[in-house]
Amino acid sequence: MKSTTEIRIETRGAVRILTMDGPSSRNSISRPQYEALTAAVIDAGHDTAVRAIVLTGAQGFFSSGGNVAALQESRQLPLSEVSRNTDALAAMILAIRTCPTPLVAAVEGGAAGLGVALALSCDMVTASAGAKFTVAYVKIGLTPDGGTTHFLREALPRQLASELCMLGRPVSAERLHAAGVVNVVADAGGALAAALELAEALATGASAAIETIKSQLASAPQNALAQQVDIEGRGINAARYGSEAGEGLAAFLEKRRPDFSNPGQE
């Protein structure tokens, strides 16, 4: 039983909005949605007119994660088949993390299971007041997937990550905001608007510089200081001769707002 959640794609100016819409299952996802989201993220990342992406859910909730009925049915499948499912899931998460275009998750209501990994795989997260993040795998005798433990340990102390994963208890957006995981806590119903505000700020920024920064932030945790300093040095030296630096430096000295809307113009 595969999830029937639809992946809706909308473009507002330079922002691409990807919406998971499955009213009967709180936007649960399985292999068809993994593949659809992967394709949508890759396409947006290669579209030069798209400068920021928002990932959200419909019906007042982000995503309940994996379809539980599908998980139950998968116990009757051979390992080769379920491995194709987990491979498709991994490809989706890696597409988000390696996408050159920044992504903002808009979490209305809450996220559970794989929905938490999806939200945390984005570069920034907004959430509505009272939204709950629940890493619920242990409640059904399963372990996390989709990079959940990676993202939690990257962002949180071991004790809080253990509480989330080992007890499966909901953690509020407010608590995760205090821990630095959620960027903005919006009023109920306002997570998408807050995400669009961040996305529009990203879309009007220096897109080539933002792409390099995203890559540098991804490599930093596993690199030694000397290696990361070298990466940053090569990055800033490449950027300093580009059109974005030309516009940004001139705007600063002329005390005006920079215009990065035409990155190819010198």
- Let me know whether 125 and 245 are in one domain: no
Residues in the chain: 266
Residue at 216 is within a domain: yes
Indicate whether 228 and 133 sit together in one domain: no
Same domain, 129 and 213: no
Q: What is the pLDDT of residue 3?
A: 76
What percent of the chain has pLDDT above 70?
Answer: 98
* In a domain? residue 263: no
Same domain flag for 88 and 178: yes
Q: Which CATH number fits the domain that encloses residue 54?
A: 3.90.226.10
**Do the bridges between strand 110-112 and strand 132-134 make them parallel or antiparallel, or are there none, so unpaired?**
parallel
Q: What angle do CA 160, 161, 164 make, to 5 degrees?
A: 85
Examine the domain organization and report whether 32 and 158 are in the same domain: yes
Partners of residue 134 on adjacent β-strands: 112
The b/e string for 171-189 (b: 16+ C-beta within 10 A; e otherwise) is: bbbeebbeeebbbbbbeee
Q: Is residue 128 situated within a structural domain?
A: yes
Terminal Cα distance for the chain, rounded: 54
**CATH code, domain carrying 224:** 1.10.12
| Domain annotation covers residue 264 | no
Tell me the whole-structure pTM to 2 decimals: 0.94
Q: Does residue 91 belong to any structural domain of this protein?
A: yes
Together in a domain, 199 and 232: no
Q: Which two tokens stand for residue 178?
A: 């205090």
Q: Give tens-digit pLDDT for 121-154.
A: 999 999 999 999 999 999 999 999 999 999 999 9
> Rounded to whole angstroms, what are the CA distances from 253 to 109, 209, 249?
44, 19, 6
159-186 pLDDT, tens per residue? 999 999 999 999 999 999 999 999 999 9
CB count within 10 Å of CB 148 equals: 25
pLDDT at 264 over 70: no
226 shares a domain with 165? no
Other CB atoms within 10 Å distance of the CB of residue 21: 14
Q: pLDDT, tens digit, for every residue of 35-94?
A: 999 999 999 999 999 999 999 999 999 999 998 888 888 899 999 999 999 999 999 999
Find the domain containing 175 and state its range.
Answer: 6-203
Residue 260 counted as domain residue: no
Do 229 and 171 belong together in one domain? no
Number of domains in the chain: 2
Mean pLDDT of all residues in the chain? 95
The pLDDT value given to residue 265: 46
| Sheet (strand 132-134) strand order | 110-112, 132-134, 171-172
Is 130 part of any domain? yes
- Residues 12 and 111 reside in one and the same domain: yes
Q: Could you tell me if 159 and 227 lie in one domain?
A: no
With tokens 């809080």, the residue in question is 160
Indicate whether 242 pLDDT > 60.
Answer: yes
Distances in whole angstroms, Cα of residue 218 to Cα of each of 33, 39, 97, 227, 253: 25, 21, 8, 13, 31
Strand partners, 110: 132
- Do 16 and 132 lie in one domain? The reply is yes
Task: Please report whether residue 223 resides in a domain.
Answer: yes
Q: Looking at the predicted structure, is the pLDDT value of residue 201 above 50?
A: yes
User: Does 241 lie in the same domain as 178?
Assistant: no
